[in-house]
Structure 1
Amino acid sequence: MTATGSASASGIELRHLRAFVAVARRGSFTQAAQELLITQPALSRTVAQLEGGLGVRLLERSSRGVALTDTGRGFLVHAERTLAAFDAALAAAHQDLTLRLGFSWLLPDPWAQRAIAGFERDSGAQVELVRCDDPLDALNRESVDIALVRGARAVGGAVRTVHLYDERRVAVRARTEADQRETSHVPSDMPDTLRWQDAHEWTLVVNTGSGTTGPWCWPNGGGPRRYVDTANFDEWLESVAAGRGIGVVPDVAERRIHHPALRFLSLTGAPPSPVRLAYRPDNSAGAGSALLRHFLNAALDAATTCTHTGEPYP
Protein backbone atom coordinates (compact mmCIF):
# COMPACT_ATOMS: atom_id res chain seq x y z
CA MET A 1 0.00 0.00 0.00
CA THR A 2 1.34 3.46 -0.81
CA ALA A 3 2.02 6.08 1.84
CA THR A 4 -0.92 8.13 0.56
CA GLY A 5 -3.23 5.16 0.81
CA SER A 6 -2.00 4.41 4.32
CA ALA A 7 -2.71 7.98 5.50
CA SER A 8 -6.19 7.85 3.99
CA ALA A 9 -6.96 4.50 5.62
CA SER A 10 -5.74 5.78 8.99
CA GLY A 11 -8.64 8.20 9.21
CA ILE A 12 -6.54 11.35 9.67
CA GLU A 13 -8.73 14.47 9.54
CA LEU A 14 -8.23 18.23 9.65
CA ARG A 15 -9.02 18.22 13.38
CA HIS A 16 -5.94 16.06 13.94
CA LEU A 17 -3.77 18.57 12.08
CA ARG A 18 -5.28 21.51 14.00
CA ALA A 19 -4.63 19.77 17.30
CA PHE A 20 -1.00 19.02 16.45
CA VAL A 21 -0.29 22.52 15.09
CA ALA A 22 -1.84 24.19 18.15
CA VAL A 23 0.31 22.14 20.55
CA ALA A 24 3.41 22.72 18.42
CA ARG A 25 2.84 26.49 18.33
CA ARG A 26 2.00 26.88 22.03
CA GLY A 27 4.41 24.29 23.38
CA SER A 28 1.68 23.36 25.84
CA PHE A 29 -1.31 21.03 25.78
CA THR A 30 -3.10 23.29 28.28
CA GLN A 31 -2.79 26.45 26.19
CA ALA A 32 -3.56 24.59 22.97
CA ALA A 33 -6.75 23.13 24.50
CA GLN A 34 -7.90 26.64 25.42
CA GLU A 35 -7.21 27.83 21.89
CA LEU A 36 -9.17 24.97 20.32
CA LEU A 37 -12.09 25.17 22.78
CA ILE A 38 -11.70 21.53 23.85
CA THR A 39 -10.58 19.76 27.02
CA GLN A 40 -6.95 18.80 27.54
CA PRO A 41 -7.68 15.03 27.66
CA ALA A 42 -9.59 15.28 24.36
CA LEU A 43 -6.66 17.15 22.80
CA SER A 44 -4.17 14.54 24.03
CA ARG A 45 -6.28 11.75 22.51
CA THR A 46 -6.51 13.59 19.18
CA VAL A 47 -2.73 14.07 18.95
CA ALA A 48 -2.18 10.45 19.94
CA GLN A 49 -4.58 9.37 17.16
CA LEU A 50 -2.56 11.41 14.65
CA GLU A 51 0.73 9.87 15.76
CA GLY A 52 -0.84 6.40 15.72
CA GLY A 53 -2.26 6.94 12.25
CA LEU A 54 1.09 8.10 10.91
CA GLY A 55 3.08 5.53 12.85
CA VAL A 56 5.60 8.16 13.99
CA ARG A 57 6.33 10.25 17.07
CA LEU A 58 5.74 13.96 16.42
CA LEU A 59 6.06 15.36 19.95
CA GLU A 60 8.28 14.64 22.92
CA ARG A 61 6.49 15.07 26.25
CA SER A 62 8.36 15.71 29.49
CA SER A 63 7.95 17.44 32.84
CA ARG A 64 9.47 20.57 31.24
CA GLY A 65 6.82 20.78 28.51
CA VAL A 66 6.36 19.67 24.92
CA ALA A 67 8.95 19.71 22.13
CA LEU A 68 8.87 18.71 18.46
CA THR A 69 10.79 15.67 17.26
CA ASP A 70 12.79 15.96 14.04
CA THR A 71 9.92 14.26 12.23
CA GLY A 72 7.47 16.60 13.94
CA ARG A 73 9.31 19.70 12.73
CA GLY A 74 9.12 18.52 9.13
CA PHE A 75 5.48 17.49 9.45
CA LEU A 76 4.56 20.87 11.00
CA VAL A 77 5.55 22.73 7.82
CA HIS A 78 3.22 20.63 5.67
CA ALA A 79 0.41 20.64 8.25
CA GLU A 80 0.45 24.44 8.45
CA ARG A 81 0.36 24.74 4.66
CA THR A 82 -2.60 22.37 4.48
CA LEU A 83 -4.52 24.26 7.14
CA ALA A 84 -3.69 27.63 5.59
CA ALA A 85 -5.10 26.50 2.25
CA PHE A 86 -8.25 25.15 3.90
CA ASP A 87 -8.73 28.30 5.99
CA ALA A 88 -8.34 30.44 2.87
CA ALA A 89 -11.20 28.47 1.31
CA LEU A 90 -13.30 29.01 4.44
CA ALA A 91 -12.50 32.73 4.40
CA ALA A 92 -13.88 33.03 0.90
CA ALA A 93 -17.16 31.57 2.14
CA HIS A 94 -17.18 33.71 5.31
CA GLN A 95 -17.25 37.13 3.67
CA ASP A 96 -20.68 37.88 5.09
CA LEU A 97 -20.11 36.40 8.57
CA THR A 98 -19.81 38.57 11.66
CA LEU A 99 -18.49 37.91 15.15
CA ARG A 100 -20.01 40.11 17.85
CA LEU A 101 -17.53 41.25 20.52
CA GLY A 102 -19.14 42.55 23.70
CA PHE A 103 -17.39 45.00 26.02
CA SER A 104 -18.44 47.37 28.78
CA TRP A 105 -15.90 50.20 28.49
CA LEU A 106 -12.57 51.12 26.91
CA LEU A 107 -11.33 48.27 24.79
CA PRO A 108 -7.62 47.98 25.62
CA ASP A 109 -5.15 49.36 23.12
CA PRO A 110 -3.17 48.45 21.09
CA TRP A 111 -4.40 44.90 21.80
CA ALA A 112 -7.94 45.43 20.44
CA GLN A 113 -6.82 47.01 17.19
CA ARG A 114 -4.27 44.27 16.49
CA ALA A 115 -6.57 41.41 17.48
CA ILE A 116 -9.45 42.68 15.35
CA ALA A 117 -7.22 43.41 12.34
CA GLY A 118 -5.57 39.99 12.56
CA PHE A 119 -8.90 38.19 12.87
CA GLU A 120 -10.51 40.01 9.96
CA ARG A 121 -7.46 39.50 7.75
CA ASP A 122 -7.13 35.77 8.46
CA SER A 123 -10.80 34.76 8.64
CA GLY A 124 -12.46 37.04 6.10
CA ALA A 125 -15.21 37.75 8.66
CA GLN A 126 -16.00 41.04 10.40
CA VAL A 127 -16.03 42.07 14.07
CA GLU A 128 -19.08 43.95 15.31
CA LEU A 129 -18.33 45.91 18.49
CA VAL A 130 -21.22 45.79 20.96
CA ARG A 131 -21.10 48.10 24.00
CA CYS A 132 -23.09 46.63 26.91
CA ASP A 133 -23.26 47.33 30.65
CA ASP A 134 -22.82 43.64 31.50
CA PRO A 135 -20.94 41.67 28.81
CA LEU A 136 -21.47 38.35 30.60
CA ASP A 137 -25.21 38.87 30.67
CA ALA A 138 -25.11 39.72 26.96
CA LEU A 139 -23.13 36.54 26.34
CA ASN A 140 -25.64 34.42 28.23
CA ARG A 141 -28.51 36.04 26.30
CA GLU A 142 -26.58 35.24 23.09
CA SER A 143 -26.63 38.87 21.96
CA VAL A 144 -22.82 38.69 21.63
CA ASP A 145 -20.58 35.79 20.60
CA ILE A 146 -17.58 36.59 22.77
CA ALA A 147 -17.05 39.08 25.59
CA LEU A 148 -14.09 40.97 26.98
CA VAL A 149 -14.31 40.82 30.78
CA ARG A 150 -12.10 42.43 33.38
CA GLY A 151 -11.51 41.27 36.95
CA ALA A 152 -11.50 37.86 38.57
CA ARG A 153 -15.16 37.35 39.42
CA ALA A 154 -16.75 33.98 38.58
CA VAL A 155 -18.34 33.75 35.13
CA GLY A 156 -20.65 30.74 35.56
CA GLY A 157 -20.35 27.09 34.68
CA ALA A 158 -21.57 27.36 31.08
CA VAL A 159 -18.97 30.01 30.20
CA ARG A 160 -15.32 29.39 29.43
CA THR A 161 -12.59 32.02 29.61
CA VAL A 162 -9.16 32.57 28.10
CA HIS A 163 -6.72 34.75 30.05
CA LEU A 164 -5.03 37.43 27.92
CA TYR A 165 -2.92 39.49 30.35
CA ASP A 166 -3.09 41.47 33.61
CA GLU A 167 -3.68 45.20 33.97
CA ARG A 168 -2.19 47.44 36.64
CA ARG A 169 -4.65 49.19 38.94
CA VAL A 170 -4.65 52.94 39.67
CA ALA A 171 -6.82 55.05 41.96
CA VAL A 172 -8.90 58.05 40.96
CA ARG A 173 -10.67 60.75 42.95
CA ALA A 174 -12.37 64.07 42.39
CA ARG A 175 -10.17 67.10 41.90
CA THR A 176 -10.08 69.54 44.80
CA GLU A 177 -9.22 73.20 45.21
CA ALA A 178 -5.78 72.05 46.31
CA ASP A 179 -5.33 70.35 42.94
CA GLN A 180 -6.24 73.60 41.20
CA ARG A 181 -3.64 75.46 43.24
CA GLU A 182 -1.09 72.83 42.29
CA THR A 183 -1.60 73.60 38.59
CA SER A 184 -0.67 77.17 39.48
CA HIS A 185 2.66 75.93 40.94
CA VAL A 186 1.33 76.01 44.52
CA PRO A 187 2.13 72.67 46.24
CA SER A 188 -0.85 70.53 47.21
CA ASP A 189 -1.12 68.71 50.53
CA MET A 190 -3.15 65.92 48.96
CA PRO A 191 -1.29 62.57 48.53
CA ASP A 192 -0.24 61.47 45.05
CA THR A 193 -0.19 57.80 46.07
CA LEU A 194 -2.63 55.52 47.85
CA ARG A 195 -1.84 52.14 49.40
CA TRP A 196 -4.01 49.06 48.88
CA GLN A 197 -3.48 48.07 52.51
CA ASP A 198 -5.14 51.33 53.59
CA ALA A 199 -8.38 50.44 51.79
CA HIS A 200 -10.24 50.21 55.12
CA GLU A 201 -9.98 54.00 55.30
CA TRP A 202 -11.70 54.58 51.93
CA THR A 203 -15.19 55.06 50.68
CA LEU A 204 -15.01 53.05 47.46
CA VAL A 205 -17.20 53.74 44.42
CA VAL A 206 -18.03 50.39 42.80
CA ASN A 207 -19.30 49.56 39.31
CA THR A 208 -21.40 46.51 40.22
CA GLY A 209 -22.10 45.66 36.58
CA SER A 210 -18.62 45.34 35.10
CA GLY A 211 -16.15 46.85 37.57
CA THR A 212 -12.86 45.25 38.54
CA THR A 213 -12.67 46.39 42.17
CA GLY A 214 -15.36 45.85 44.78
CA PRO A 215 -16.15 43.91 47.97
CA TRP A 216 -15.22 40.67 46.20
CA CYS A 217 -11.57 41.79 46.29
CA TRP A 218 -11.53 41.43 50.09
CA PRO A 219 -13.36 38.14 50.71
CA ASN A 220 -12.00 37.89 54.26
CA GLY A 221 -12.68 41.49 55.26
CA GLY A 222 -10.25 44.38 55.51
CA GLY A 223 -11.79 46.26 52.62
CA PRO A 224 -13.14 49.82 52.49
CA ARG A 225 -15.33 51.07 55.34
CA ARG A 226 -18.12 52.05 52.97
CA TYR A 227 -19.17 51.35 49.40
CA VAL A 228 -21.11 53.46 46.90
CA ASP A 229 -22.73 51.21 44.29
CA THR A 230 -23.22 52.26 40.68
CA ALA A 231 -24.74 50.20 37.86
CA ASN A 232 -22.34 50.91 34.99
CA PHE A 233 -19.15 52.65 33.95
CA ASP A 234 -20.72 56.05 33.22
CA GLU A 235 -22.43 56.18 36.63
CA TRP A 236 -19.16 55.12 38.28
CA LEU A 237 -17.21 57.82 36.47
CA GLU A 238 -19.56 60.66 37.38
CA SER A 239 -19.96 59.47 40.98
CA VAL A 240 -16.19 59.61 41.49
CA ALA A 241 -16.08 63.02 39.78
CA ALA A 242 -18.81 64.21 42.17
CA GLY A 243 -16.65 63.33 45.16
CA ARG A 244 -18.68 60.34 46.37
CA GLY A 245 -15.50 58.34 47.06
CA ILE A 246 -12.35 56.76 45.68
CA GLY A 247 -12.43 54.76 42.45
CA VAL A 248 -10.02 51.98 41.49
CA VAL A 249 -9.68 51.12 37.82
CA PRO A 250 -7.19 49.54 35.36
CA ASP A 251 -4.49 51.94 34.24
CA VAL A 252 -5.84 52.09 30.68
CA ALA A 253 -8.36 54.58 32.10
CA GLU A 254 -5.57 56.98 33.08
CA ARG A 255 -4.40 57.09 29.46
CA ARG A 256 -7.82 57.26 27.88
CA ILE A 257 -10.10 59.24 30.22
CA HIS A 258 -9.69 63.02 30.19
CA HIS A 259 -12.26 64.26 32.69
CA PRO A 260 -11.56 67.74 34.11
CA ALA A 261 -13.03 66.79 37.50
CA LEU A 262 -10.84 63.68 38.02
CA ARG A 263 -7.33 63.14 39.29
CA PHE A 264 -5.53 59.80 38.95
CA LEU A 265 -3.25 58.55 41.72
CA SER A 266 -0.65 55.79 41.97
CA LEU A 267 -1.84 52.75 43.90
CA THR A 268 0.79 50.60 45.59
CA GLY A 269 0.34 47.02 46.72
CA ALA A 270 -2.75 46.39 44.60
CA PRO A 271 -3.11 42.98 42.92
CA PRO A 272 -3.23 43.07 39.11
CA SER A 273 -6.58 42.89 37.36
CA PRO A 274 -6.92 40.04 34.83
CA VAL A 275 -8.35 40.59 31.37
CA ARG A 276 -10.13 37.61 29.82
CA LEU A 277 -12.20 36.65 26.83
CA ALA A 278 -15.37 34.78 27.74
CA TYR A 279 -17.42 32.60 25.39
CA ARG A 280 -20.07 29.88 25.46
CA PRO A 281 -19.19 26.71 23.53
CA ASP A 282 -22.92 25.94 23.27
CA ASN A 283 -23.87 29.32 21.77
CA SER A 284 -26.32 28.43 19.02
CA ALA A 285 -27.31 31.92 17.88
CA GLY A 286 -24.06 33.55 16.83
CA ALA A 287 -20.71 32.75 15.22
CA GLY A 288 -19.61 29.16 14.89
CA SER A 289 -16.69 27.52 16.68
CA ALA A 290 -14.36 28.10 13.71
CA LEU A 291 -14.81 31.88 13.97
CA LEU A 292 -14.42 31.78 17.75
CA ARG A 293 -11.20 29.82 17.35
CA HIS A 294 -9.92 32.33 14.79
CA PHE A 295 -10.64 35.24 17.11
CA LEU A 296 -9.05 33.57 20.14
CA ASN A 297 -5.92 32.90 18.08
CA ALA A 298 -5.76 36.53 16.97
CA ALA A 299 -6.43 37.75 20.51
CA LEU A 300 -3.67 35.64 22.06
CA ASP A 301 -1.21 36.58 19.31
CA ALA A 302 -1.97 40.28 19.82
CA ALA A 303 -1.46 40.01 23.58
CA THR A 304 1.86 38.23 23.07
CA THR A 305 3.05 40.79 20.50
CA CYS A 306 2.30 43.73 22.78
CA THR A 307 4.24 42.08 25.61
CA HIS A 308 7.30 41.20 23.51
CA THR A 309 7.63 44.60 21.84
CA GLY A 310 7.52 46.44 25.16
CA GLU A 311 4.77 48.77 23.99
CA PRO A 312 2.34 50.30 26.50
CA TYR A 313 0.57 47.23 27.80
CA PRO A 314 -3.03 46.85 26.71
Structure 2
Amino acid sequence: MSSADIELRHLRAFAAVARHGSFSRAAGELLITQPALSRTVAQLEAALGVRLLDRSPRHVQPTAAGAEFLAQAEKALAAFDHALAVARGQSVLRLGFSWLLPDPWAQEAIRRFERTGDATIQLVRCDDPLRDLRLRAIDVALLRGTTTPPAPARAVLLYEEPRIAVCAQDCELARHTHLNWADVSAWPLVVNTVSGTTGPWSWPAGQRPDRVIETTNFDEWLESVAAGRGIGIVPEAARRRIHHPALRFVPLEDAPLIPVALAYLPDNRPSLMRRFITAATSAVATE
Protein backbone atom coordinates (compact mmCIF):
# COMPACT_ATOMS: atom_id res chain seq x y z
CA MET A 1 0.00 0.00 0.00
CA SER A 2 1.34 3.43 -0.98
CA SER A 3 0.45 6.91 0.21
CA ALA A 4 -1.80 7.24 -2.85
CA ASP A 5 -3.99 4.47 -1.41
CA ILE A 6 -4.69 6.27 1.87
CA GLU A 7 -8.44 6.81 2.35
CA LEU A 8 -10.56 8.77 4.79
CA ARG A 9 -11.27 5.57 6.71
CA HIS A 10 -7.57 5.33 7.54
CA LEU A 11 -7.54 8.87 8.94
CA ARG A 12 -10.74 8.29 10.93
CA ALA A 13 -9.40 5.04 12.36
CA PHE A 14 -6.11 6.59 13.48
CA ALA A 15 -7.79 9.72 14.87
CA ALA A 16 -10.28 7.62 16.89
CA VAL A 17 -7.54 5.46 18.43
CA ALA A 18 -5.40 8.51 19.25
CA ARG A 19 -8.37 10.33 20.77
CA HIS A 20 -9.49 7.41 22.95
CA GLY A 21 -6.04 6.03 23.73
CA SER A 22 -7.58 2.62 23.17
CA PHE A 23 -8.24 0.34 20.20
CA SER A 24 -11.27 -1.23 21.89
CA ARG A 25 -13.00 2.08 22.65
CA ALA A 26 -12.19 3.44 19.20
CA ALA A 27 -13.60 0.28 17.60
CA GLY A 28 -16.78 0.77 19.58
CA GLU A 29 -17.11 4.34 18.35
CA LEU A 30 -16.50 3.37 14.72
CA LEU A 31 -18.72 0.25 14.95
CA ILE A 32 -16.04 -2.07 13.58
CA THR A 33 -14.14 -4.97 15.11
CA GLN A 34 -10.90 -4.34 16.94
CA PRO A 35 -8.86 -6.56 14.55
CA ALA A 36 -10.23 -4.63 11.56
CA LEU A 37 -9.34 -1.36 13.23
CA SER A 38 -5.81 -2.58 14.01
CA ARG A 39 -5.33 -3.60 10.37
CA THR A 40 -6.54 -0.23 9.13
CA VAL A 41 -4.14 1.70 11.36
CA ALA A 42 -1.29 -0.65 10.42
CA GLN A 43 -2.04 -0.02 6.75
CA LEU A 44 -1.79 3.72 7.33
CA GLU A 45 1.54 3.39 9.14
CA ALA A 46 2.89 1.18 6.35
CA ALA A 47 1.77 3.61 3.66
CA LEU A 48 3.43 6.53 5.45
CA GLY A 49 6.49 4.55 6.49
CA VAL A 50 6.13 6.03 9.99
CA ARG A 51 5.09 4.57 13.34
CA LEU A 52 2.19 6.72 14.48
CA LEU A 53 1.25 4.99 17.74
CA ASP A 54 3.12 3.66 20.76
CA ARG A 55 1.27 0.54 21.90
CA SER A 56 1.41 -0.92 25.41
CA PRO A 57 -0.89 -3.27 27.35
CA ARG A 58 -2.34 -0.32 29.32
CA HIS A 59 -2.28 2.65 26.98
CA VAL A 60 -1.99 3.63 23.35
CA GLN A 61 -0.65 7.09 22.56
CA PRO A 62 0.67 8.93 19.49
CA THR A 63 4.40 9.03 18.84
CA ALA A 64 5.96 12.44 18.18
CA ALA A 65 5.34 11.93 14.46
CA GLY A 66 1.85 10.64 15.25
CA ALA A 67 0.95 13.75 17.25
CA GLU A 68 1.96 15.99 14.36
CA PHE A 69 0.07 13.84 11.87
CA LEU A 70 -3.00 13.77 14.15
CA ALA A 71 -3.28 17.56 14.12
CA GLN A 72 -3.30 17.61 10.33
CA ALA A 73 -5.57 14.58 10.01
CA GLU A 74 -8.16 16.12 12.34
CA LYS A 75 -8.14 19.33 10.29
CA ALA A 76 -8.56 17.36 7.06
CA LEU A 77 -11.46 15.34 8.48
CA ALA A 78 -13.14 18.46 9.85
CA ALA A 79 -12.79 20.24 6.49
CA PHE A 80 -14.22 17.21 4.66
CA ASP A 81 -17.19 16.90 7.02
CA HIS A 82 -17.86 20.63 6.74
CA ALA A 83 -17.73 20.45 2.95
CA LEU A 84 -20.31 17.65 3.00
CA ALA A 85 -22.58 19.67 5.26
CA VAL A 86 -22.34 22.72 3.00
CA ALA A 87 -23.08 20.62 -0.09
CA ARG A 88 -26.16 19.24 1.64
CA GLY A 89 -27.29 22.69 2.71
CA GLN A 90 -26.63 21.94 6.36
CA SER A 91 -24.49 23.53 9.06
CA VAL A 92 -23.28 21.33 11.89
CA LEU A 93 -21.77 22.55 15.16
CA ARG A 94 -19.84 19.85 17.03
CA LEU A 95 -20.23 20.05 20.82
CA GLY A 96 -17.54 18.06 22.62
CA PHE A 97 -17.90 16.77 26.18
CA SER A 98 -15.98 14.32 28.35
CA TRP A 99 -18.95 12.81 30.20
CA LEU A 100 -22.56 13.44 31.24
CA LEU A 101 -23.83 16.58 29.56
CA PRO A 102 -25.58 18.70 32.21
CA ASP A 103 -29.35 18.36 32.20
CA PRO A 104 -31.72 19.96 31.53
CA TRP A 105 -29.36 22.67 30.24
CA ALA A 106 -27.99 20.64 27.30
CA GLN A 107 -31.40 19.65 25.96
CA GLU A 108 -32.74 23.21 26.26
CA ALA A 109 -29.63 24.79 24.70
CA ILE A 110 -29.73 22.42 21.72
CA ARG A 111 -33.45 23.00 21.24
CA ARG A 112 -33.05 26.79 21.29
CA PHE A 113 -30.12 26.72 18.88
CA GLU A 114 -31.66 24.38 16.33
CA ARG A 115 -34.97 26.22 16.16
CA THR A 116 -33.22 29.51 15.18
CA GLY A 117 -32.00 28.26 11.78
CA ASP A 118 -30.97 25.29 9.66
CA ALA A 119 -27.92 24.36 11.77
CA THR A 120 -27.79 21.27 13.98
CA ILE A 121 -25.70 20.14 16.94
CA GLN A 122 -23.53 17.02 16.72
CA LEU A 123 -22.61 15.61 20.14
CA VAL A 124 -19.05 14.30 20.35
CA ARG A 125 -17.85 12.35 23.40
CA CYS A 126 -14.11 12.88 23.89
CA ASP A 127 -11.66 12.24 26.73
CA ASP A 128 -9.94 15.63 26.33
CA PRO A 129 -12.31 18.29 24.93
CA LEU A 130 -9.67 21.05 25.10
CA ARG A 131 -7.24 19.01 23.02
CA ASP A 132 -9.93 18.22 20.46
CA LEU A 133 -10.92 21.87 20.34
CA ARG A 134 -7.32 22.83 19.64
CA LEU A 135 -7.16 20.21 16.88
CA ARG A 136 -10.51 21.48 15.54
CA ALA A 137 -12.01 18.03 15.88
CA ILE A 138 -14.88 19.80 17.68
CA ASP A 139 -16.20 23.36 17.47
CA VAL A 140 -17.09 24.04 21.08
CA ALA A 141 -16.09 22.24 24.29
CA LEU A 142 -18.08 21.83 27.48
CA LEU A 143 -15.67 22.22 30.42
CA ARG A 144 -16.15 21.46 34.08
CA GLY A 145 -13.76 22.68 36.76
CA THR A 146 -11.34 25.55 36.92
CA THR A 147 -9.47 24.80 33.70
CA THR A 148 -8.79 27.98 31.75
CA PRO A 149 -8.45 27.32 28.02
CA PRO A 150 -5.17 28.60 26.55
CA ALA A 151 -5.26 31.41 23.99
CA PRO A 152 -6.65 31.88 21.44
CA ALA A 153 -9.58 29.89 22.87
CA ARG A 154 -12.16 31.81 24.86
CA ALA A 155 -14.47 30.63 27.62
CA VAL A 156 -18.00 31.56 28.69
CA LEU A 157 -19.10 30.62 32.21
CA LEU A 158 -22.57 29.08 32.26
CA TYR A 159 -23.21 28.27 35.93
CA GLU A 160 -21.84 26.24 38.86
CA GLU A 161 -22.74 22.72 39.98
CA PRO A 162 -22.64 21.23 43.50
CA ARG A 163 -20.33 18.29 44.23
CA ILE A 164 -21.12 14.87 45.68
CA ALA A 165 -18.90 11.99 46.85
CA VAL A 166 -19.13 8.51 45.34
CA CYS A 167 -17.66 5.28 46.66
CA ALA A 168 -17.92 1.50 46.37
CA GLN A 169 -20.99 0.00 48.03
CA ASP A 170 -18.85 -1.98 50.48
CA CYS A 171 -16.71 1.03 51.41
CA GLU A 172 -16.96 2.27 55.01
CA LEU A 173 -17.97 5.68 53.66
CA ALA A 174 -21.14 4.17 52.14
CA ARG A 175 -22.60 3.96 55.66
CA HIS A 176 -22.17 7.70 56.25
CA THR A 177 -25.04 10.13 55.76
CA HIS A 178 -22.70 12.90 54.61
CA LEU A 179 -19.05 13.85 54.26
CA ASN A 180 -17.48 17.22 55.02
CA TRP A 181 -15.20 18.70 52.36
CA ALA A 182 -12.42 19.04 54.92
CA ASP A 183 -12.64 15.28 55.63
CA VAL A 184 -12.13 14.20 52.00
CA SER A 185 -8.35 14.28 52.34
CA ALA A 186 -8.55 11.35 54.79
CA TRP A 187 -9.70 9.04 51.98
CA PRO A 188 -7.78 7.83 48.90
CA LEU A 189 -9.02 9.97 46.00
CA VAL A 190 -9.54 8.57 42.49
CA VAL A 191 -8.83 11.27 39.91
CA ASN A 192 -9.35 11.56 36.17
CA THR A 193 -6.24 13.57 35.30
CA VAL A 194 -7.44 14.46 31.79
CA SER A 195 -10.96 15.79 32.30
CA GLY A 196 -11.84 15.30 35.97
CA THR A 197 -13.46 18.09 37.94
CA THR A 198 -11.80 17.31 41.27
CA GLY A 199 -8.18 16.48 42.05
CA PRO A 200 -5.35 17.51 44.39
CA TRP A 201 -5.48 20.90 42.70
CA SER A 202 -8.90 21.45 44.32
CA TRP A 203 -7.31 21.95 47.77
CA PRO A 204 -4.67 24.40 49.02
CA ALA A 205 -1.18 22.99 49.50
CA GLY A 206 -0.95 21.18 52.83
CA GLN A 207 -4.64 20.20 52.79
CA ARG A 208 -4.58 17.81 49.83
CA PRO A 209 -5.45 14.09 50.00
CA ASP A 210 -2.51 11.94 51.10
CA ARG A 211 -3.14 9.29 48.47
CA VAL A 212 -4.27 9.85 44.86
CA ILE A 213 -5.12 7.14 42.32
CA GLU A 214 -4.77 8.54 38.80
CA THR A 215 -6.86 7.50 35.78
CA THR A 216 -6.99 9.03 32.31
CA ASN A 217 -10.64 8.69 31.26
CA PHE A 218 -14.13 8.38 32.68
CA ASP A 219 -14.43 4.59 32.32
CA GLU A 220 -11.16 3.95 34.18
CA TRP A 221 -12.23 6.41 36.89
CA LEU A 222 -15.67 4.81 37.27
CA GLU A 223 -14.41 1.25 37.56
CA SER A 224 -11.57 2.24 39.91
CA VAL A 225 -14.08 3.77 42.33
CA ALA A 226 -16.40 0.76 41.97
CA ALA A 227 -13.47 -1.55 42.74
CA GLY A 228 -12.86 0.26 46.03
CA ARG A 229 -9.54 1.86 45.03
CA GLY A 230 -10.71 5.12 46.59
CA ILE A 231 -13.53 7.65 46.52
CA GLY A 232 -14.50 10.01 43.74
CA ILE A 233 -15.90 13.52 43.75
CA VAL A 234 -18.32 14.38 40.93
CA PRO A 235 -21.05 16.89 40.01
CA GLU A 236 -24.23 16.21 41.97
CA ALA A 237 -26.05 15.43 38.71
CA ALA A 238 -24.12 12.15 38.58
CA ARG A 239 -26.39 10.77 41.34
CA ARG A 240 -29.28 10.54 38.88
CA ARG A 241 -27.20 9.87 35.75
CA ILE A 242 -24.76 7.12 36.80
CA HIS A 243 -26.43 3.76 37.41
CA HIS A 244 -23.74 1.37 38.59
CA PRO A 245 -24.74 -1.36 41.08
CA ALA A 246 -21.38 -1.22 42.87
CA LEU A 247 -21.51 2.52 43.64
CA ARG A 248 -23.02 4.60 46.42
CA PHE A 249 -23.35 8.40 46.56
CA VAL A 250 -22.71 10.38 49.74
CA PRO A 251 -23.73 14.05 50.09
CA LEU A 252 -20.91 16.57 50.59
CA GLU A 253 -21.07 19.57 52.89
CA ASP A 254 -19.10 22.81 52.42
CA ALA A 255 -17.69 21.66 49.08
CA PRO A 256 -16.79 24.37 46.54
CA LEU A 257 -19.01 24.50 43.48
CA ILE A 258 -17.86 23.27 40.04
CA PRO A 259 -17.78 25.89 37.27
CA VAL A 260 -19.38 24.79 33.99
CA ALA A 261 -18.20 26.66 30.91
CA LEU A 262 -18.04 26.57 27.13
CA ALA A 263 -14.75 27.03 25.29
CA TYR A 264 -14.47 27.94 21.61
CA LEU A 265 -12.09 29.39 19.02
CA PRO A 266 -13.19 32.91 17.98
CA ASP A 267 -12.11 32.45 14.35
CA ASN A 268 -14.24 29.32 13.87
CA ARG A 269 -17.54 30.24 12.18
CA PRO A 270 -18.15 33.24 14.46
CA SER A 271 -21.76 33.90 13.44
CA LEU A 272 -22.80 30.30 14.10
CA MET A 273 -20.84 30.31 17.36
CA ARG A 274 -22.56 33.49 18.54
CA ARG A 275 -25.93 31.86 17.93
CA PHE A 276 -24.97 28.84 20.00
CA ILE A 277 -23.49 30.89 22.85
CA THR A 278 -26.70 32.95 22.96
CA ALA A 279 -28.81 29.79 23.06
CA ALA A 280 -26.54 28.20 25.68
CA THR A 281 -26.59 31.16 28.06
CA SER A 282 -30.34 31.66 27.60
CA ALA A 283 -30.94 28.01 28.48
CA VAL A 284 -29.30 28.53 31.90
CA ALA A 285 -32.14 30.79 33.00
CA THR A 286 -34.72 28.06 32.35
CA GLU A 287 -33.21 25.47 34.72
Which TM-score tier does this pair reach, normalised by the shorter chain? 0.5 to 0.7
| Aligned AA (1:129) | L
Which position in structure 1 is the counterpart of 2:286?
A: 305
2:110 to 100, 107, 116: 116
| Aligned AA (2:169) | R
Identity of aligned residues (%): 57
Q: Distance in 2 between matches of 1:260 and 1:127?
A: 32
Q: Distance in 2 between matches of 1:246 and 1:150?
A: 19
Which position in structure 1 is the counterpart of 2:164?
A: 170
Secondary structure of the residue aligned to 1:274 is: strand
Deviation at 1:177, TM superposition (A): 8.0
Which position in structure 2 is the counterpart of 1:144?
A: 138
Secondary structure of the residue aligned to 2:285 is: helix
8 Å CA contact retained: 1:174, 1:240: yes
Q: Distance in 2 between matches of 1:113 and 1:303?
A: 11
Which position in structure 2 is the counterpart of 1:247?
A: 232
2:246 to 261, 273, 277: 261
Deviation at 1:156, TM superposition (A): 1.2
Count of aligned residue pairs for this structure pair: 202
Q: Distance in 1 between matches of 2:131 and 2:256?
A: 26
Secondary structure of the residue aligned to 1:223 is: coil
Q: Distance in 1 between matches of 2:172 and 2:160?
A: 33
Superposed CA offset, 1:195-215 (max 9, x none) = 111122111000111110001
Matched, 1:160 2:160: no
Q: Mark the runs of 5 or more structure 2 residues left unpaired by the alignment.
A: 1-86
8 Å CA contact retained: 1:201, 1:224: yes
Q: Mark the runs of 5 or more structure 1 residues left unpaired by the alignment.
A: 1-92, 180-187, 307-314
8 Å CA contact retained: 1:199, 1:222: no
TM superposition score normalised by structure 2: 0.67
TM superposition score normalised by structure 1: 0.62
Deviation at 1:221, TM superposition (A): 2.7
The correspondence of residues 1-314 of structure 1 with structure 2, limited to 5 A, is 95-176=89-170, 190-283=175-268, 288-306=269-287
8 Å CA contact retained: 2:148, 2:155: no
| Aligned AA (1:274) | P
Q: Distance in 1 between matches of 2:254 and 2:131?
A: 31
Q: Which runs of 4+ in 1 moved over 4 A?
A: none
Find the structure with the greater CA-based Rg.
1
8 Å CA contact retained: 2:171, 2:228: no
Q: Distance in 1 between matches of 2:253 and 2:172?
A: 22
Q: Distance in 2 between matches of 1:173 and 1:240?
A: 6
